[in-house]
Structure 1
Amino acid sequence: MKADPAVQRRLLDLAEIDAELTRLAHRRRTLPEHTELTEAEAAVQEGKDKLIATETAAGDLDRDIRRLEHDVEGVRARTRRDEQLLAGSGVGAKQAADLQHELQTLARRQTVLEDEQLEVMEQREALGVHLEHARRVLTEAEQRLSEITERRDNALADIDAVVAGRGRDRTAVVGEIPGEVLAIYERRREQGNVGAAPLRERRCGACRLELDRTFLSQLRAAPADELVRCEECGTILVRTKESGV
């Protein structure tokens, strides 16, 4: 196939653009912020789980405190009633003895309940410290996640801007290359290969292999507008002043 030497040189420009776009795509996929985000998201989730667990435990203790307060108040109310009955007139000796016994029982019960209430309140106070710590840890984790997300988004925006610019450059170059020549180049690209590369110092710029003498002799004899391919990898070889042929 024939292709003007100027067109062949534009293939090198196109290959350079495509190589840069490939590098940009790789950079986009491998931004360190992606890994940082995964870790930060895990930290936020862990922080939320710990906060929920701590809040649940605090809620359980708060319910215990309210239950104990209710029980203590019930004992106190019963004690007041018995004391009023005992102080009233018309109370017989047996009833008085029964009331005294019940008052003693209520006093012991109140002591037990108040001790339990104090213990639970101390547990709740200690858990309150853990609760504040859990909230602070979650807030810090969320802030870090937000900062990393912003850095990631800015990095992606920068990459996208460069990709857009190089995409416009590619469109302009493609417009200068004949369709049949471009088709050969694009088929190579679709197969995951370099579409075109310079022949530099008798080596293919794609596979980096030094070409044998017979093939180099054929290249020397080939017209400048002949589209040649590397005998090793099939890439379009573009001859330049640095080719050594």
Structure 2
Amino acid sequence: MKATPAEQNELLRLQSIDTGLQRLDHAARNLPQDAERTALEPQLATVRAKHAARTGELEDARIELRRVESDVEVVEARIDRDSGRLQQTASVKDIQGLETELASLRTRRSDLEEIELTVMERIEELEATLADIDEERTALTAQFDALESARSQELGVLDARRAALGDDRETVLRGIPTELVALYEKQRARYGTGAALLQRGVSLGSNTALNANDLDTIRRAAPDDVVLCPESSCILIRNEESGL
């Protein structure tokens, strides 16, 4: 394949841009915020699970309290009813029966009030625990959101740089023959590097010094011959730095 030295030299610019794009892609895949978010996610999941569990316990306790309060209301209503009947009857038998039932009802009310107090104390404890969990969850969520915001900002910066390099790449491509670009893309896809400079006998595509036979072959090539690095298979660019 033939291409002018100037056209071949443009491949170095193209390779530099593509290397920059690869670095940006690597940076986008390895943002420090991603590692921090990954470390934070189990903590956030744990505190959310604790919050859900305590919320369920609190709701159960409140339901139990409402049931006990309802039972107390029923017992008090019966006490009021029997007390009224006791005031209105003159029958000794009825009086004895009502007094026995009232004693039983008052005992039941006392038991229910103790249960009510116990449930209320449990609700207070659960509410305090839930408040602490809420505080922890809020702090972790804020930390997670801050990381997400920082991550989005960093991605925005990387995207802007990628767009700028993309524009530069399109500009460079317009000065390189299509066939030469195709060879460059083919070698880059296969071997990772599409083009590299031969600098003082060292291929920067493989970072190794070429042997005498390879250098002699390259010296004999015409300036517009496209040559490949015998070590890395990338297009080898020759200029005044090559030491030929």
Q: Pick the TM interval, shorter chain.
A: over 0.9
Aligned length: 244
Question: Structure 1 residues 145-154 or 94-103, which shifts more?
Answer: 94-103
CA distance in 2, matches of 1:4, 1:49: 67
Q: Greater CA deviation, 53-62 or 32-41?
A: 32-41
What letter corresponds to residue 190 of structure 2 in structure 1? Q
Q: Percent identity, please.
A: 35
After superposition, what is the alpha-carbon deviation per residue over 1:33-80, rounded to whole angstroms, capped at 9, x for unaligned? 122334445544443332222221111111111111111122122122
**Structure 1 unaligned regions, length at least 5:** none
Helix, strand or coil at the partner of 2:187: helix
For the residues of structure 2 that align with 1:126 and 1:3, how far apart are their CA atoms?
A: 82
Give the Cα–Cα distance (whole angstroms) in 1 for the partners of residues 89 and 12 of structure 2.
Answer: 116
Query: Equivalences for 1:82-101 in 2 at 5 Å?
Result: 82-90=82-90, 92-101=91-100
Matches of 1:2 and 1:214 in 2, distance apart? 22
Q: Which residue of 2 aligns with 1:208?
A: 207
TM-superposed deviation, 1:9: 1.2
TM-score norm. by structure 2 comes to: 0.93
* 1:17 counterpart letter in structure 2: I
Partner of 2:76: 76
2:223 alignment partner in structure 1: 224
Who is 2:159 aligned against? 160
Counterpart for residue 244 of structure 1: 243
2:224 and 2:70 map into 1 onto residues whose CA distance is: 100
TM-score by length of 1: 0.93
CA shift digits 1:93-130 (9 cap, x unpaired): 22222222112211211111111111110000111101
SS of residue matched to 2:9: helix
Confirm or deny: 8 A CA contact 2:191 2:232 kept in the other structure: no
Distance 2:144 2:110 in 1: 50
Mapped pair 1:22 → 2:22: yes
Tell me by how many angstroms 1:200 deviates: 1.7
User: 1:50 is matched with which residue?
Assistant: 50
- What corresponds to 2:60 in structure 1? 60
Contact 2:188–2:234 (8 Å) recurs in 1? no
For the pair 1:134 / 2:123, whether they are aligned, the reply is no
Distance in 2, Cα, partners of 1:95 & 1:176? 115
d(CA) in 2 for partners of 1:156, 1:10: 29
Distance 1:102 1:179 in 2: 105
Q: Which residue of 2 aligns with 1:3?
A: 3
Amino acid paired to 2:19: A
1:141-220 alignment, distance < 5 Å: 141-220=140-219
Deviations 1:136-190 (A, max 9, x none): 2222222222211111111011001111111111111111011111111011122
**For the residues of structure 2 that align with 1:192 and 1:108, how far apart are their CA atoms?**
90
* Amino acid paired to 1:240: N
Secondary structure in 2 aligned to 1:3? coil
In structure 2, the partner of 1:107 is 106
Give the Cα separation in 2 of the matches to 1:66 and 1:179: 81
Which amino acid in structure 1 is aligned with residue 185 of structure 2? Answer: E
Structure 2 unmatched ranges of 5 or more: none
RMSD over aligned CA atoms reads: 1.7
- Structure 1 residues 183 and 89: alpha-carbon distance in aligned structure 2, compared to 1, 3 A threshold: closer
User: 1:89 & 1:215 partners in 2: Cα distance?
Assistant: 126
